[in-house]
Amino acid sequence: MREVVIVSGVRTPIGDFLGSLKDFTAVQLGTMALKAAIERAGIEPAQIEEVATGHVYQAGCKGNPSRQVTIHAGCPVETVSVTINQQCPSSMRAAEIIGQQIMLDKIDIGAAVGHESMTNIPYLLLKARMGYRMGPGKLEDGMMYDAFIDAFYNYHAGVTAENLVDMYNISRQEADEWGLMSNQRACQAIAEGKFREEIVPVEIKSKKGVKIFDTDEHPNPNASLESMAKLKPAFKKDGIITAGNASAINDGGAAMILMGADKAKELGIKPLARIVATASASVDPSIMGIGVVPAVKRVLQFAHMSMDDIELWEINEAFATQVIACNRELQINVDKINVLGSGVSLGHPVGQTGARLIITLMHEMRRSKKQFGCATLCAGGGPAMATIIEAL
Q: List active site positions.
A: 88, 348, 378
CA-closest candidate to residue 252, choices 147, 386, 93, 359: 359
CA-closest candidate to residue 326, choices 340, 342, 350: 342
Residue 281 CA, chain-centre distance (Å), reads 17
Collapse the DSSP code of 302 into the 3-class scheme (helix H, G, I; strand E, B; otherwise coil) and give the result. Answer: helix
Compute the distance between CA of residue 15 and CA of residue 254 in angstroms, rounded to an integer. 13
| Identity of residue 170 | I
Check if the beta carbon of residue 83 is closer than 8 Å to that of residue 66.
Answer: yes
Residue 214 CA, chain-centre distance (Å), reads 18
Collapse the DSSP code of 154 into the 3-class scheme (helix H, G, I; strand E, B; otherwise coil) and give the result. Answer: coil
Compute the distance between CA of residue 61 and CA of residue 26 in angstroms, rounded to an integer. 8
| Helix (H) or strand (E) run with residue 285 in it | none
CA atoms within 13 A on the CB side of 192: 11
Q: 250 CB contacts (<8 Å, ≥6 apart)?
A: 14, 15, 16, 17, 19, 116, 118, 217, 218, 347, 348, 349
For strands 202-206 and 209-213, give the pairing. Answer: antiparallel
| Helix (H) or strand (E) run with residue 391 in it | strand 383-391
Task: Identify any residues that bridge with 4 across adjacent strands, giving them in sequence order.
Answer: 260
